A = this chain, B = another copy of it.
Amino acid sequence: MSRAEKAAAERPTLAAVARGAGVSASTASLAFSGAGPVSPATRERVLAVAEELGYGGPDPRARSLRRGRSGIVGAVIESSLSDAFRDPVNVAMLDGLADVTGPADNSLLLLTETTPAQSRLIDAPLDAVVLFGCSLRLDESVAVVRRRGMPVVSIEARPMDGVLDIGLDNVEASRTLARHLRELGHRRVAVVALELGPTRELGRITDERVAAGTTHTALQRLAGVREVFPGAGGVVTAGSWTSEGHRAGMLLLDVPPADRPTAIVAQSDLLASGVIAAAAELGLAVPAELSVVGFDGIRLDDPRAADLTTMRQPAVEKGRAAGRALLDLLAGVPAESQTFTSVFHPGCTTAPPREAGV
């Protein structure tokens, strides 16, 4: 028996407190939960004995078995925490989620879609689950959770049976950006895409990678652009980070001028920021020599990308909506998928191409 176990074994229980106070366990329970009538006198006596014995209140483990609820919502993210939280959009969504679940006495358990058959998803005492931009093991995760009968909410995932999704108008929003560029006169447009899955490797957008792609958001945003610029190519990145945008930008821009796109559609503001940094390094003026658009509408630290042309998406609201849906589901109230809308923000990183109509 380890020291910790011994200490735990020695902790007083509600029964011990009740005994000490000369009342029954049920009365003591009421004294703590306030879920029933207890005379002030007995309550105080119980509390006093608890204090004396160093009893810290009902054990949440026992309580959650009895009640059938743990008060814990699993927030599943695909990658490592630092990868995911590097993008303010994810943090904003998480914050929105916590904003709603917290006051309802639910906390968030951080889970990553790790290899061994979603082990934590299986053995953590969860009441419900939110899937944050998961793609790789999406089906597997959903299967595990559904089998347990837990409500599942996804954020920007492809539609799945029995999963309520909080979506975004990715196709339409990307189309809007693409149209904006076309109207300015751009014809040579390249995309810098978010990770497409299943691998996270920077490289050219190819039909193969698109066909094998698992990340709904990236695929949708690409589709939106291609509605306006059919067959538009570009680069797939490993994720929504400035450094990846920079690498992608170098790949696309460090070429003979004739091969260079006149505009780049980055699938996130962070990527756009990296692209703009790459352009600066190559001595390309934005927007005079290169137009760049992003996606998300976050505030960027890099002054060169400060007023980016982008689509603003309601990230915090999406998180809140996911939280509300979860609470409804948990309460047995029917809830439905919903889609949020992005708003076009014209910044100063787009302009007509130097030679219109190349």
Point out the residue from B86, B92, B123 that lies within 8 Å of A88, measured CB to CB.
Answer: B86
Q: Does A41 contact B (CB under 8 A)?
A: no
Q: Does A211 contact B (CB under 8 A)?
A: no
**Given A86-B88, A147-B56, A4:B72 Cβ within 8 A:** no
Closest B residue to A62 using CB positions: B65
Q: Does A37 contact B (CB under 8 A)?
A: no
Q: Which chain B residues border A114 with CB–CB below 8 Å?
A: 102
- CB pair A95 B111 closer than 8 Å: no
Interface residues of A in 103-132 (CB under 8 A from B): 105, 107-112, 114, 119-120, 122-126
- CB pair B108 A70 closer than 8 Å: no
29 contacts between A and B (CB under 8 A): A2-B331, A2-B332, A4-B332, A5-B68, A6-B332, A56-B148, A60-B123, A61-B70, A64-B64, A64-B125, A72-B72, A72-B109, A72-B125, A81-B94, A82-B88, A82-B95, A85-B91, A85-B94, A98-B112, A102-B112, A102-B114, A102-B120, A107-B110, A110-B110, A273-B301, A277-B303, A300-B301, A301-B302, A302-B302
Ranked nearest first, the 6 interchain pairs of A and B with the lowest CB-CB distance are A2-B332, A3-B332, A56-B147, A60-B125, A82-B95, A56-B148
- Residues of chain A touching chain B, judged by Cβ–Cβ distance below 8 Å, are 2-8, 11, 54, 56-65, 68, 70-72, 80-82, 85-86, 88, 91-92, 94-95, 98, 102, 105, 107-112, 114, 119-120, 122-126, 144, 147-149, 151, 242, 273, 277, 280, 300-304, 329-332
